[in-house]
């Protein structure tokens, strides 16, 4: 949004220079400069207002950006780290706009009615994996991640090394920070609940203890977790409001200038009429 204001202000500045040159030329040629002077004033006002708004918007922006939790890594960084499949923390309760910023446009969006609420499933294929993000009321509440083998019968399953399967959780950049209220670890399942302030449940499916592989996982986010400083903040609204106020001010000043010009023309007409009467 600040780029819009800066661009508009730059155009207004160029127009300001052009009108100023025209004013100087009119004065040298002895032409009527009233309209040009009024236009110059209006353009100067527009330039000043837009330039101030651009600066204000740019200054406000850093304070509104989401603040990453300490120790949180980006997905791109995680992909370069051995053993990390998906950074689950980054997607906790984010909006659809933020999801698209991270993942791009989805392959498909499926609408499913869940009780009184509508659930949307945003599907993606990325890095040979298949993702299905569950969105309720514009918030990501769950994500299902399928290995290439589990999704299209090609490639490989997810793999783990530790006999207790503890490295499965680490592969999604998760660490159990709370005492688990639910835990299941056997030859067929690896399920944990109440993992952290952001992640409520983690479930690994299609486990093969012989080959130490699993097919897919489900990550459910803590219902009470509130993401701090969401990207979908009030910056655009504030900017639009400021721009609207600037427009109203410019229109008002233009109206005042127009009124002054009309008054001046009337006064000049009266003077001309008085001069004509005096000659008679």
Contact 42, 16 (CB under 8 A): no
**CA-based nearest residue to 146, from 162, 127, 165, 160:** 127
In the chain, where the domains are located: 2-64+237-279, 75-221
Q: Which of 139, 150, 76, 146 is nearest to 107 (CA)?
A: 146
Name the CATH topology of 75-221.
Answer: Beta-lactamase Inhibitory Protein; Chain:B, domain 1 (3.30.1450)
Whole-prediction pTM: 0.56
- What are the distances in angstroms from CA 13 to CA 18, 40, 51, 60? 9, 11, 9, 23
Q: Is the dihedral of CA 270, 272, 276, 279 positive or negative?
A: positive
Give the integer Cα–Cα distance in Å for 265 and 259.
Answer: 10
Beta pairing class for 182-185 and 190-193: antiparallel
pLDDT in tens, the chain (280 residues): 455 555 665 666 666 666 666 656 665 555 555 665 666 666 666 666 666 666 666 555 544 444 444 344 444 444 445 578 999 999 999 999 999 999 999 999 999 887 778 899 999 999 899 999 999 999 999 999 999 999 998 899 999 998 888 889 999 998 877 666 667 777 778 888 888 889 999 999 999 999 999 999 999 999 888 877 654 444 455 555 665 666 666 666 666 666 777 787 787 788 877 777 776 6
* CA 140 remoteness from chain centre: 15
Bridge partner list, 120: 111, 135
Pairing of strands 108-114, 129-136: unpaired
3-state secondary structure of 224: coil
């Amino acid at each position: 949004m600040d780029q819009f204001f800066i661009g508009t202000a730059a155009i207004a500045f160029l127009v300001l220079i052009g009108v100023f040159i025209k004013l100087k030329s009119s004065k040298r040629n002895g032409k009527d400069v009233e309209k040009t002077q009024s236009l110059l004033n209006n353009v100067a006002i527009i330039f000043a207002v837009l330039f101030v708004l651009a600066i204000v918007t740019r200054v406000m922006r850093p304070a509104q950006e989401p603040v990453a939790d300490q120790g949180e890594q980006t997905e791109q960084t995680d992909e370069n780290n051995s053993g990390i499949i998906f950074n689950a923390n980054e997607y906790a309760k984010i909006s659809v706009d933020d999801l698209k910023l991270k993942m791009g446009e989805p392959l498909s969006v499926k609408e499913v009615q869940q009780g009184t609420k509508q659930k949307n499933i945003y599907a993606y294929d990325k890095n040979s994996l298949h993702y299905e993000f569950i969105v309720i009321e514009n918030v990501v509440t769950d994500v299902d991640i399928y290995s290439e083998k589990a999704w299209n019968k090609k490639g490989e399953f997810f793999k783990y090394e530790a006999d207790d399967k503890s490295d499965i959780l680490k592969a999604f950049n998760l660490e159990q920070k709370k005492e688990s209220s639910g835990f299941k670890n056997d030859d067929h399942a690896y399920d944990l609940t109440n993992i952290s302030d952001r992640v409520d449940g983690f479930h690994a499916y299609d486990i093969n203890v012989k080959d130490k592989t699993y097919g897919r996982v489900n990550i459910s986010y803590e219902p009470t977790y509130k993401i701090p400083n969401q990207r979908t903040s009030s910056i655009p609204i504030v900017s639009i409001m400021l721009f609207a106020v600037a427009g109203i001010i410019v229109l008002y000043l233009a109206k005042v200038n127009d009124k002054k010009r009309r008054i001046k023309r009337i006064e000049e007409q009266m003077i001309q009429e008085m001069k004509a009467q005096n000659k008679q």
